[in-house]
Amino acid sequence: MNMLISFFSGLVFGLGLLLSGMNDPQKVRGFLDVFGDWQPELIAVMGAAVVVFFLAYQLGLKRKQPFFSDLFHTPMLTQINARLLIGATLFGVGWGLVGLCPGPALVDLLAFDSSVIWFVFALLVGNRLAHYVVGPAR
């Protein structure tokens, strides 16, 4: 059952990224090009996603536990520290360089374009590198 829910969640998420154009690196770079040829449409995509998540989360909070799990796995970290800022900055630079972030990159794997495969492979290497060099946040 959990696998089915995961599959359906991923399917909806991926379809959303695809239909909204969030999976298109050119569109993402256009969105980030605030001082040039700015294409602000993706604000609506992220804004709508945040609103939908907010409402769903409020509904979820009314329940003791999820339908298909023992507890809600909500993040425990709350502090704003150098680690968070450095990580977010490095991610932002990489995001700006080619216009891909993890979710859309996975969706774009199905384009069977070697560029995406190179990116996702490097992404996994970067993730493991951070794990073994820096380690998980406490």
Q: Taking CB under 8 A as the criterion, which residues in 65-84 touch another protein?
A: 74-75, 77-80, 83-84
Q: Which of 15, 46, 66, 68 binds another protein (CB under 8 A)?
A: 46
Using CA atoms, how far residue 66 sits from 10, 18, 85, in Å, is 17, 27, 32
The residue within the footprint of another protein, chosen from 3, 4, 71, 93 (CB under 8 A), is 93
Q: Side-chain half-sphere of 10: how many Cα atoms within 13 Å?
A: 9
Q: Are 71 and 65 within 8 A, CB to CB?
A: yes
Give the number of residues in contact with another protein, rule: CB under 8 A.
Answer: 68
Task: Find the part of the chain contacting another protein (CB under 8 A) among 4-12, 62-70, 107-115.
Answer: 107-115
Q: Which long-range contacts (CB under 8 A, 24 or more apart) does 2-5 make?
A: 2/68, 2/69, 5/68
Q: Given candidates 12, 41, 44, 53, which one binds another protein under the rule CB under 8 A?
A: 53
Q: According to CB under 8 A, which residues from 21 to 40 bind another protein?
A: 23-26, 29, 32-36
